[in-house]
A and B are shown apart, each in its own frame.
Chain A
């Protein structure tokens, strides 16, 4: 239905939708990998999380929360809610890096880069998010 003219121009074009899905899928794969390795407690992931100061008993719950967010993000009808949930998770990742005074640009801000790509990917494919950004309120 891309031929339908939207007065405010919020309907993404085919190329934008395609680019949005490419970015979104890369995000989904990356975050799913993070979630699954936490859920099955892969040794290097457990070591890294414990090194950030988290008790080992919390790792599986982190993986579960992230996976829920990613699945919601992947389903169009719940994408925005999923993006908000994943943003909160990524805020937690920033927080963990701040606490151990990790290098700013490469470590502490890495979840911010991930969050930006997450929202850009959604913006490109979602007419509703475009409308919210343009109308604002």
Chain B
């Protein structure tokens, strides 16, 4: 919650003045501070997404036959499955720690981009399979947006 005490966390920049606008150094107005309900919803959403991804990562790390089989069917060599689990686990842990959440979200987005890619290659069904990792990514970012003042500020000031 250190961001709440940071005076630079809520610049009252008007986005309509365009990208050349310098972030204002005005007093903290708290405009980008998420409310309690938003923070709670954000954590619930983040927790659900993290749980789902941790199951995926754990199954790959433990080389659970079903997970290995799933990856092999998608064309991945069996010995790459463990490394995938490690990378995903790293992303999720970074996502759960507030100070590194945004980096973790970017990291996990790259992983999910890889998942889309794997589905595209085998010409899986679009809405149910190819776009599934995209739905996860949308929830991942939405969960972070709801709980993070810094991400809100970034989205609203833009540049």
Contact = CB atoms under 8 A, between A and B. Distances in A.
Interface of A: 1-2, 4-8, 10-11, 52-55, 58, 61-62, 75-80, 84, 87-96, 98-99, 101, 115, 119, 126-129, 131-133, 135-137
Contacts of B25: 4-7
A88 B3 contact: no
A62 B121 CA distance: 11
A5 B25 CA distance: 8
5 contacts: A6-B8, A77-B19, A94-B110, A128-B158, A128-B159
Interface in B121-157: 121, 123, 137, 141, 148-151, 153-155, 157
Given A11-B23, A131-B150, A137 B99 contact: yes
Contact of B109 (A77, A91, A128): A91
A55 B123 contact: yes
B48 interface: no
Name the interface size band of chain B: 35 or more
A10 B13 CA distance: 14
B22 interface: yes
A134 to B, nearest CB: 8
Contacts of A55: 121, 123
B110 A137 contact: no
Interface stretch (B50-58, B60-68, B111-119): B111-119
Given A6-B8, A58-B120, A1 B22 contact: yes
Contacts of A84: 106, 109, 141
Contacts of A8: 6, 8
Contact of A127 (B23, B75, B110, B116): B23
Contacts of B8: 6-8, 10, 131, 135
Contacts of A5: 25
Contacts of A92: 113-114, 116-117, 120
A90 B107 CA distance: 11
A88 B106 CA distance: 8
A55 B58 CA distance: 31
Nearest to B79: A101
A62 B117 CA distance: 10
Nearest to B80: A98
